[in-house]
């Protein structure tokens, strides 16, 4: 049997996405000669570090982890893609350390900096907190498929920024046309116009110039976090499948979200609203298995991209929405062009209610 | 959807009539006909591969058979037109629901022309018509029993028992197959009823034959996968066409191109009891050769693309722009061992790798 499988493996590739899943596990982990860092659940990408400095890109509203310092001095903690009310707390063996907010020259609302004193050889536990009641309704934004319209992405961001009730945005892939370093750099710089963070997973277009270039900018493709009484799970379905290691993580995330409002978001949907097109998982059998898992885990809503239109349908009885109106070549004759979704979360009722916001110009 | 049936008829008939109208060869296969070996050899074979991969018919053109070379080149042009036009239409319409079906069917038929024009050149350059067999009548009944191996890193892999039955009479064909893996309660069964709309080259009064044909097929596929709590009911409706490439040239005798277009209607039954409608597109293409030159020998070897995304195989997992929409690549070989006995080997690569090996028994010539 092993010989047969070995022969099979030589003849082609079924493990697309596995390399990216392995890369996920490296996100937020650092063990250099100056510094050791571990961000819990890989929810922050380490952009840079020095002996006494760390710069993270957040992939969730709240972060936690530990930093092992090897030099005594004043440590500078930079956080990009941060919540407006992000607050850093640091403790040393349970004792709180005083942190100082450091203003950033020409800094944007989502860029935060703190400083605190550290001693060599000690390990510090940090948490970045953001307050959102688990009893009150709140709002986030979902969008996808900007691709070639990066020059017009501010047409989307401007109306998003006007809504002061929005806590963060989620993008389910195809931020760029080819996923090049230049395109990803540009997208990240455009995000600075938003007064709230944007947490991203990747789409098939991000794979145009390397499997894990996206990870070098945004962090994990598969991740899950809780905020405001709800769970958010973003998955990497950019190769029309869920990679084998991710199924085990998904089991855990689904279990954790069972008693909460739970959103699952990814780029390529398990099943396309139009089966003829099959802008969906490559295997229907895998799609059915995946949806059964979500259904058993009482997932409340699924949001996808990839198809350049808006569609509301149902998969395994779970409400499903496609929002692919970020600017890629629009689907014709569907009556809708560029758009994004505002989604109202009611944690007590465990509901998500999306509302379409059209963007002008639509094409 | 109102005009879909006209698209089907026009496209499929176009594909099958094209070589006859364009090249004026309308005769069927004459038994006992002697082939010529005009343009085969190692040089021609090499040229048919490179630069033949880019300019179909190169092997024949450079070797001096301009007639066949130009026909293959023209078929490549038709293929590029179908494929390129389809891709352009998808881009222009943004893969619009209103256009997807005819556009993908057009691409499929274009793909068939593109594939056979290249493989045909290689075939002719090998002088393969000297080696391959001829279309034969199907028997009244054929049964097969074998094993199927599925390798799927996401779901389960392992061995299945596979049993098939096929009945053919006059213009009708019925078939049934079932693959079972008892430890997972994984059962996939398929029923097909097929009617020949456009007849075969010979013996059509008796049984199905494997010459030029256009069939209408209606089926039912049931997949119960208890271990994963998935039940799928699918009803495929398709037009299946086969063009014997002898129509293009004697040097292509013994080879054929297949194209199928159609729709699959059905539904999924989930764990919770939720039932949801699901549809798929059939847009399959293949290139094959007949095997068995003696009267009592039979068989085919076929490379084909299957566009469906269900079953053990699913579609191909690709990195990048083709993700999701692409189907699977397959190979199937059937050959006689003795008069009524033979074997079948199949291999497919999609979201899984699927292999099968069966013994075949035929009855009723």
How many Å lie between the alpha carbon of A247 and the closest alpha carbon of chain B? Answer: 8
Give, in order, the Cα–Cα distances in Å from A229 to each of A134, A296, A352. 4, 20, 12
Model confidence band, residue A46 (pLDDT cutoffs 50, 70, 90): very high
**Is A16 inside a domain boundary?**
no
Considering only CB atoms, which chain B residues are within 8 Å of A16?
Answer: 317-319
**Residue B248 buriedness (CB in 10 A; 0-12 / 13-18 / 19+):** buried
Judge if the upstream peptide bond of residue A233 is cis by omega within 30 degrees of 0: no
Q: How far apart are CA B116 and CA B108, in angstroms?
A: 12
**Statement to judge: residues A115 and A208 lie in one domain:** no
Establish how many alpha carbons lie within 13 A of residue B249's alpha carbon, considering only the half-sphere containing its beta carbon.
27
- Strand, coil or helix: B67: helix
Per DSSP, what are the bridge partners of residue B177? Answer: B164, B190
Considering only CB atoms, which chain A residues are within 8 Å of B262?
Answer: none
Considering only CB atoms, which chain B residues are within 8 Å of A292?
Answer: 228-230, 270-271
Considering only CB atoms, which chain B residues are within 8 Å of A204?
Answer: 319-321, 323-324
CB neighbour burial string for B249-262, b if at least 16 within 10 angstroms, e if fewer: bbbbbbbbbbbbbb
Q: In the predicted model, is pLDDT for residue A82 greater than 80? A: yes
**Statement to judge: residues B155 and B118 lie in one domain:** no
- Out of B77, B110, B130, a domain closes at B130
Rg (chain A; Cα; Å): 20
The pTM of this model reads: 0.91
Q: Are B133 and B288 in contact (CB under 8 A)?
A: no
Q: Do B278 and A282 touch (CB under 8 A)?
A: no
Q: What is the pLDDT of residues B159-197, one digit of tens each?
A: 999 999 999 988 889 999 999 998 888 999 999 999 999
Q: Which run of H or E residues covers position B117? A: helix B100-126
Q: How far apart are CA B314 and CA A163, in angstroms?
A: 43
**Is A5 inside a domain boundary?**
no
Under 8 Å CB-to-CB from A185, ≥6 apart: which residues?
A217
Q: Are B220 and B191 in contact (CB under 8 A)?
A: yes
Q: In the predicted model, is pLDDT for residue A9 greater than 50? A: no
- Nearest CB neighbour to A284, from listed B272, B309, B323: B309
**Statement to judge: residues B186 and B296 lie in one domain:** yes
A278 touches chain B (CB under 8 A): yes
Domain that holds residue A252: 138-358
**Statement to judge: residues B203 and B307 lie in one domain:** yes
How many Å lie between the alpha carbon of B4 and the closest alpha carbon of chain A? Answer: 13
**Statement to judge: residues B101 and B159 lie in one domain:** no
Say if strands B213-225 and B186-198 run parallel, antiparallel, or are unpaired: antiparallel
| Chain centroid to CA B126 | 22
Say if strands A73-80 and A44-50 run parallel, antiparallel, or are unpaired: unpaired
Q: In the predicted model, is pLDDT for residue B120 greater than 90? A: yes
Q: Do B95 and A4 touch (CB under 8 A)?
A: no
Residue B98: per-residue pLDDT? 87
Q: Do B278 and A284 touch (CB under 8 A)?
A: yes
Q: Are A28 and A39 in contact (CB under 8 A)?
A: yes
**Is B238 inside a domain boundary?**
yes
Q: Are B361 and B144 in contact (CB under 8 A)?
A: yes
Q: What is the pLDDT of residues A125-142, one digit of tens each?
A: 999 999 999 999 999 999
Q: Do A239 and B319 touch (CB under 8 A)?
A: yes
- Out of B69, B101, B130, a domain closes at B130
Q: Do A4 and B149 touch (CB under 8 A)?
A: yes
For the segment B29-56, the average pLDDT, to the nearest whole number, is 72
| Chain centroid to CA B342 | 20
Q: Do B100 and A292 touch (CB under 8 A)?
A: no
Residue B108: per-residue pLDDT? 93
**Statement to judge: residues B175 and B40 lie in one domain:** no
User: Looking at the 3D structure of chain A, how many domains does it have?
Assistant: 2
Domain that holds residue B288: 141-363
Q: In the predicted model, is pLDDT for residue A20 greater than 60? A: yes
Q: Do B97 and A288 touch (CB under 8 A)?
A: no
A141-150, B43-52, B303-312: least confident range: B43-52
């Amino acid at each position: 049997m092993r010989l047969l499988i070995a022969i099979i493996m030589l003849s082609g590739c079924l493990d697309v996405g596995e390399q990216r899943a392995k890369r996920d596990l490296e996100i937020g982990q650092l063990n250099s000669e100056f510094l050791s860092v571990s961000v819990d659940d890989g929810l922050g990408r380490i952009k840079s570090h020095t002996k006494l400095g760390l710069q993270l890109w957040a992939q969730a509203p709240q972060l936690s982890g530990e930093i092992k310092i090897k030099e005594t001095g004043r440590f500078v903690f930079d956080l990009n893609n941060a919540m407006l009310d992000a607050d850093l707390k640091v403790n040393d063996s349970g004792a709180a350390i005083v942190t100082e907010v450091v203003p950033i020259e020409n800094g944007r609302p989502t860029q935060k900096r703190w400083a605190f004193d550290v001693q060599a050889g000690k390990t510090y536990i940090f948490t970045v907190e953001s307050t959102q009641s688990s009893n009150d309704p709140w709002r986030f934004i979902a969008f996808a498929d900007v691709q070639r319209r990066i020059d017009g992405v501010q047409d989307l961001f401007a109306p998003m920024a006007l809504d002061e009730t929005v806590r963060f945005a989620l993008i389910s892939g195809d931020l760029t046309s080819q996923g090049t370093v230049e395109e990803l750099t540009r997208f990240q710089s455009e995000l600075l116009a938003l007064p709230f963070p944007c947490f991203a997973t990747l789409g098939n277009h991000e794979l145009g110039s390397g499997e894990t270039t996206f990870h070098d900018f945004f962090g994990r493709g598969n991740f899950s976090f809780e905020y405001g009484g709800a769970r958010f799970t973003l998955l990497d379905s950019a190769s029309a499948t869920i990679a084998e290691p991710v199924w085990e993580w998904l089991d855990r995330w689904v279990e954790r979200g069972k008693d909460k409002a739970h959103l699952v978001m990814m780029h390529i949907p398990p099943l396309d609203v139009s089966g003829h097109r099959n802008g969906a998982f490559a295997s229907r059998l895998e799609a059915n298995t995946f949806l059964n898992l979500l259904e058993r885990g009482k997932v409340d809503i699924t949001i996808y991209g990839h198809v350049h239109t808006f569609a509301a349908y149902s998969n395994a009885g779970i409400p499903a929405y496609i929002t692919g109106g970020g600017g890629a070549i629009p689907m014709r004759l569907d009556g809708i062009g560029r758009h994004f979704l505002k989604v109202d979360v009611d944690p007590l009722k465990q509901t998500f209610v999306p509302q379409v916001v059209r963007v002008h110009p639509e094409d | 959807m109102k005009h879909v049936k006209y698209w089907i008829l026009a496209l499929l008939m176009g594909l099958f009539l094209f070589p006859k109208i364009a090249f004026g060869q309308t005769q069927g296969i004459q038994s006992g006909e002697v082939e010529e070996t005009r343009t085969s050899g190692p040089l021609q074979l090499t040229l048919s591969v490179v630069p033949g991969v880019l300019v179909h018919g190169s092997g024949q053109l450079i070797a001096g058979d301009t007639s066949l070379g130009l026909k293959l080149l023209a078929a490549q042009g038709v293929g590029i037109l179908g494929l390129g036009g389809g891709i352009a239409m998808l881009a222009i319409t943004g893969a619009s629901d209103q256009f997807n079906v005819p556009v993908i069917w057009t691409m499929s038929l274009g793909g068939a022309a593109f594939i056979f024009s290249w493989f045909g050149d290689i075939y002719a350059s090998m002088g393969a018509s000297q080696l391959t067999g001829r279309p034969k009548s199907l028997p009244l009944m054929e049964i097969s029993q074998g094993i199927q191996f599925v390798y799927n890193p996401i779901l389960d892999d392992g061995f299945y028992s596979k049993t098939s039955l096929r009945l053919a009479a006059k213009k009708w064909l019925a078939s049934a197959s079932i693959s079972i893996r008892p430890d997972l309660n994984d059962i996939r069964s398929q029923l097909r009823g097929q009617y020949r709309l456009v007849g075969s080259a010979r013996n059509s009064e008796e049984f199905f034959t494997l010459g030029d044909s256009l069939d209408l097929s209606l089926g039912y596929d049931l997949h119960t996968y208890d271990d994963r709590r998935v039940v799928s009911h699918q009803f495929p409706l398709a037009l299946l066409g086969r063009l014997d490439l002898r129509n293009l040239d004697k040097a292509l005798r013994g080879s054929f191109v297949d194209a199928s277009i159609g729709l699959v209607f059905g539904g999924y039954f989930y764990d919770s009891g939720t039932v949801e409608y699901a549809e798929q597109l059939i847009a399959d293409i293949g290139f094959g050769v007949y095997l068995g030159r003696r009267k009592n020998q039979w068989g085919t070897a076929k490379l084909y693309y299957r566009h469906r995304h269900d079953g053990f195989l699913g579609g191909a997992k690709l990195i990048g722009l083709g993700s999701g929409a692409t189907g699977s690549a397959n190979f199937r070989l059937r050959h006689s061992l003795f008069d009524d006995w033979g074997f079948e080997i199949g291999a497919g690569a999609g979201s899984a790798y699927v292999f099968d090996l069966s013994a075949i028994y035929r009855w009723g010539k």
